[in-house]
Amino acid sequence: MKNKADIAVAGLAVMGENLVLNMESKGFTVAVYNRTYARTEAFANGRGKGKNILPASTVAELCDRLERPRRIMLMVKAGAPVDELIGQLLPHLEQGDILIDGGNSFFKDTMRRASELGKKEILYVGAGVSGGEEGALHGPSLMPGGDIRAWEPIRTIFRTISAKAPDGTPCCDWIGPDGSGHFVKMLHNGIEYSDMQMIAEAWNLLRHLCSFPPEALADLFEAWNRTELESYLMEITSAILRKKDPGTGAYVLDLILDSAGQKGTGKWTAECALDLGMPAATIAEAVFARCLSALREERLAASKILPGPAVPKAQDEKGFAESVRRALYAAKICAYAQGFQLLRAASREYNWNLNYGDIALMWRGGCIIRAKFLDDIKRAFAANGDLANLMFDPFFADALAKAQESLRKVVASAAMSEIAVPAFSSALAYYDASRSGRLPANLIQAMRDCFGAHTYERVDRKRGEFFHTDWMDSGSVSATSTNYNR
Ligand code: NBP
């Protein structure tokens, strides 16, 4: 065994442990540290026994066990623990050493840390890691961003341990400066929220409006997984639909409480969309849908008070199922269009100069939203690197032209059958509003000007000229001195 390690991992909970085993299995020697030493010992004497793993009981010992420049990956709980651990490591680091935060840190925290550590010539990397514990062990999608000088020294380790796309390409590439790696990981999770919500809505429509038995529904999702919808989430959905509880013989799904949890990355994505003024409504709806699901007691009470229509079964069940499949595809395109629109806005806001096609490729393996569909997104951005909206790409425009009618029919059926489809509905609203040459925002501007003298622009004058009207003939002609239109 080498007496100096290639890389260190600090934080040996499920993700850290599995990443260490992944690195070690690919031929790297790994130094390990955990705040609670008992965990380090348990790992070294358990899953890590007999492997090229060097346990350290203190951060000083950890730093001493590394080749120069040091490469240290933090796999601890996001937030204050990351700052605490950095503070403890700093006295033992030298200029040119590399700190990589592989946790789910908020990208603005990463920007702050990158800036502070950059002043000390410590090369800081915020690396999104996706794929959960299985991914960490067998190959995650890795999204590193930060100080570009760190990329060369970590590239081989990262690309070796990462997942590989079906064509063999590592699902890991350099994303961009400061917090961009963590932003991209956050966006991945936001898209994951909308993907999951839309699949759940499709299943809900089919089970309420059709009479397919559970096995037939599982078969249907399995068949859909051989179409444009092919993805990891579709694959696990058909497996979930088939699973029976050994104790009761019931389908496990029917035993699960309909109250969804969340850890916050979807909420962050929606907040970023609001901050940047981007209409990622379907992603936000997916977050709100989880919030509403968690209000279970209120829902149960309301179900006894608020009326809805009787639920008619679909006339042509096979035809309806095909409409739902197409609607799911159309809604998915809209949600991804929103995600990439948000990414583009962030790239511009923070001067990250992101390569959107390469990012799509990084999500083809290892991560939760891995899907065949991402190849089409790569092609769209390869054809036009500055594509304003994925829906404008000829392939996706054509796909939407073919599927939008199904999305309309399915949303209408849902509305007439008391089935809430917030993600489908918001995707359709996004599609229609995005292609509308004249929205009712002129009335909003008029109201704003009427009650707050906020001014408005006119269609018959050049942009940038602002007007005010005395709407109530009050004699007031002055506009507010602050322009709230920009
Ligand atoms: P957790 O997020 O559960 O964090 C537990 C680890 O953080 C333990 O090693 C713990 O040490 C350490 N820690 C804490 Br808590 N406070 C600390 C402090 N002040 N100083 C030093 N260490 C501290 O672990 P995880 O589920 O393995 O996830 C690790 C990171 O990866 C997180 O940011 C997570 O969001 C992210 N992530 C998780 C997944 C997943 O599927 N779980 C997927 C992708 C990314 P202790 O043993 O002494 O308490």
pLDDT digit string, tens, across residues 4-19: 999 999 999 999 999 9
Span from the CA of 253 to the centroid of ligand 1 (angstroms): 29
Please state, in angstroms and rounded to a whole number, the distance separating the CA atoms of residues 293 and 444: 32
Q: Tokens in use for 175?
A: 């994303």
Residues 6+ apart with CB under 8 A from 442: 456
Percent of the chain exceeding pLDDT 90 equals 94
Q: What pLDDT band is residue 475 in, cutting at 50, 70 and 90?
A: confident
Q: HSE (CB half, 13 Å, CA atoms) of 91?
A: 7
User: Is residue 471 scored above 90 in pLDDT?
Assistant: yes
What is residue 315's predicted lDDT score, i.e. its pLDDT? 87
Query: Dihedrals φ, ψ of 308, to 5°?
Result: -145, 180
What is the CA(407)–ligand 1 centre distance, in A?
Answer: 41
The rounded distance, in Å, linking the Cα atoms of 223 and 219 is 6
pLDDT for residue 402: 98
Ligand 1 mean position to 71 CA, how many Å? 18
Q: What is the pLDDT of residue 361?
A: 92
Task: Report whether pLDDT(486) > 60.
Answer: no
Cα–ligand 1 centroid distance for 103 (angstroms)? 7
Q: What is the mean pLDDT of the chain?
A: 96
Q: What is the residue with the minimal CA distance to atom 3 of ligand 1?
A: 77
Share of the chain above pLDDT 70, in %: 98
From the list 192, 201, 228, 285, the catalytic residue is 192
Whether 119 is catalytic: no
For a mutational test of ligand 1's pocket, the pick from 19, 58, 77, i.e. the residue with the most ligand atoms closer than 8 A to its C-beta, is: 77
Which pLDDT does position 1 carry in this prediction? 73
Residue to mutate, 9, 14, 15, ligand 1, most ligand atoms under 8 Å from C-beta: 15
CB of 110 within 6 A of ligand 1: the answer is: no
For residue 484, the model assigns a pLDDT of: 67
- Tell whether ligand 1 has an atom less than 6 A from the beta carbon of residue 39: yes
What pLDDT is stored for residue 482 in this prediction?
Answer: 67
CB distance 348 to ligand 1 below 6 Å: no
Digit-coded pLDDT (tens) for 296-320: 999 999 999 999 888 778 889 999 9
pLDDT surpassing 80 at residue 485 = no
pLDDT at residue number 419: 95
Atom in ligand 1 nearest the alpha carbon of residue 14: 27
Question: How confident is the model over 391-404, as pLDDT tens digits?
Answer: 999 999 999 999 99
Can you tell me the distance from the alpha carbon of 146 to that of 127, in angstroms, rounded to the nearest whole number? Answer: 8
75 lines ligand 1 (CB under 6 A): yes
Spatial contact of 106 and 132, defined as CB atoms under 8 Å apart? no
**What's the pLDDT score for residue 64?**
97
- Ligand 1 atom at minimum distance from 140 CA: 44
Confidence at residue 483, expressed as pLDDT on a 0 to 100 scale: 67
Residue 246 pLDDT > 70: yes
Q: Select, from the ranges 54-68, 304-318, 359-373, the one with the highest average predicted confidence (pLDDT).
A: 54-68
pLDDT at position 480, please? 62
Q: Which atom of ligand 1 is nearest to the CA of 15?
A: 27
Residues facing 251 on adjacent strands = 244
* The one catalytic residue among 185, 267, 332, 378: 185
Separation of CA 72 and ligand 1 centre (Å): 15
Residue nearest to atom 11 of ligand 1 (CA): 35
Q: What gap in Å lies between CA 486 and CA 483, rounded to an integer? A: 7
- Cβ of 367 closer than 6 Å to ligand 1, yes or no, is no
Give catalytic status of residue 244 as yes or no.
Answer: no
User: What digits encode the pLDDT tens for the residues 190-205?
Assistant: 999 999 999 999 999 9
Q: What's residue 3's pLDDT?
A: 87
Ligand 1 midpoint to CA 16 (Å): 8
Q: Quick check: CB of 11 below 6 Å from ligand 1?
A: yes
pLDDT at 225 over 60: yes
Q: Is the pLDDT of residue 174 over 70?
A: yes
Contacts of 336 (CB under 8 A, 6+ apart): 191, 373, 377, 390
> Rounded to the nearest whole angstrom, what is the distance from the C-alpha of residue 228 to the centroid of ligand 1?
36
Q: Which amino acid is at 99?
A: L
Q: Is the CB of 264 under 6 A from ligand 1?
A: no
Q: What is the pLDDT of residues 408-448, one digit of tens each?
A: 999 999 999 999 999 999 999 999 999 999 999 999 999 99
| Closest protein CA for atom 15 of ligand 1 | 77
Task: Specify the residue with its C-alpha closest to ligand 1, atom 35.
Answer: 104
Going by pLDDT thresholds of 50, 70 and 90, the confidence category of residue 479 is low
Which one is predicted more confidently, 483 or 113? 113
